[in-house]
Amino acid sequence: MARAPFELADIRIAPGSRTQIDVPVARLYTHAPLYIPVEVVHGRQAGPTLLVCGGIHGDEINSVEIVRRLLRSRQLQGLRGTLIAAPIVNVFGFVQHSRYLPDRRDLNRCFPGSESGSLGGRVAALFREQIVDHASHIIDLHTGAIHRTNLPQIRAQLTPGGETERMANAFGAPVILNAELREGSLRHYAQNRGIPVLTYEAGEALRFDEWAITPGVRGVLRVMRRLGMLAGERRRRTPPAAEIANGSSWARAPIDGILRPQVRLGARVARDELLGRVADPFGNAEGEVRSMADGIVIGMSRLPLANEGEALFHIARFDAIEEAESAIEDFHSSLAPPPDSLY
């Protein structure tokens, strides 16, 4: 029996074909239309429907490049199931180089949205109804916020032996954060509907970080093989097992001033270890930033200018920190490492 066509936004995609679809989202003040661009790859054989989306925060452009490279992969030729690829969800923010929508709302706090609500609510409702609700599995791609960078990591709500945990382990990021759901996020909406969802965080906003993009593409393809959407390849090396963090917290600036970091992204740190110093321009006042726990630096500020209380270093805690450190070293050795400079 032939597989049925896949339908999205009133467009039918035949089995064994791929189609780019512009989903109407709004109009600019000039009356020019805006669309959420989507490409659907509909395999000849049955399988899961995976949504891979980027740009929910408009300035997180590493995610856009990951989706572009994924769609160019020759491995998709033998796809089982259906891939929905949405590289730029927040088209308003993407055009303006902004994380937010024009009304300053964070789209990833607007789900499930409302057709009669704010702009954020309307965009979230449209994306949910037209795209998200078609998916059986989701990978949501992100980076650190403006002037912050993240070590490649997976964030997910894990249930031992569950589908989300299996996807997270297959992805191959060096760190997994068993993260609570944030109300209004895509992950919160999808998980509550029983849709397994991963959030991949890596790199910095408004930057192309090759050390974040390459493992992102590889990770998505690994998950697709795990889901049976792609044939396995014996030649591919199994990625080192990721370590699951049992918690994380931010070390913050003790005073206003200029930060001089003493550790790098991915570094192992001990409790009370010096992470950096913050001083005024004259050096008359200086404060130390120290780690609150043994852990790994999985995120840090890239802007030396800091206000008192500002989050500077994100420290993840592990039960087996030696294994976590080893996983990160193995990860870095498999591709180009982060830049040598601290900034």
328 and 181 housed in the same domain: no
Question: Structure tokens of 146?
Answer: 């403006």
Inside any domain, residue 266:
yes
Question: Helix or strand or coil: residue 112?
Answer: coil
**What would the pLDDT profile of 145-176 be if each residue is shown by its tens digit?**
999 999 999 999 998 899 999 999 999 999 99
Going 170 to 173 to 174 to 178, the CA torsion angle's sign is negative
Inside any domain, residue 106:
yes
Return phi, psi of residue 327, to 5°: -65, -40
Length of the chain: 343
Q: Is residue 182's pLDDT more than 90?
A: yes
Q: Is residue 336's pLDDT more than 60?
A: no
Amino acid found at 174? P
Range of the domain at 180: 6-227
220 and 302 housed in the same domain: no
**240 pLDDT band (50/70/90 cuts)?**
low
> Domain boundary residue among 199, 227, 255?
227
Query: Which residue from 312, 265, 267, 268 is spatially nearest to 288, judged by alpha carbons?
Result: 312
**What would the pLDDT profile of 11-49 be if each residue is shown by its tens digit?**
999 999 999 999 999 888 888 899 999 999 999 999 999
**What would the pLDDT profile of 45-84 be if each residue is shown by its tens digit?**
999 999 999 999 999 999 999 999 999 999 999 999 999 9
Helix residue ranges, H only, the chain: 62-71, 91-96, 119-130, 163-171, 186-192, 210-226, 321-333
pLDDT of residue 34: 94
Neighbouring C-beta atoms of residue 226, cutoff 10 Å: 17
CA angle 123, 124, 125 (to 5 degrees): 90
Token pair 């994100």 in the structure block, residue = 314
Question: Structure tokens of 211?
Answer: 């050390």
pLDDT of residue 326: 83
Question: What's the predicted TM-score (pTM) here?
Answer: 0.93
Distance, CA of 61 to CA of 339 (rounded, Å): 18
Q: What is the CATH number of the domain that holds 14?
A: 3.40.630.10
Distance, CA of 251 to CA of 323 (rounded, Å): 23
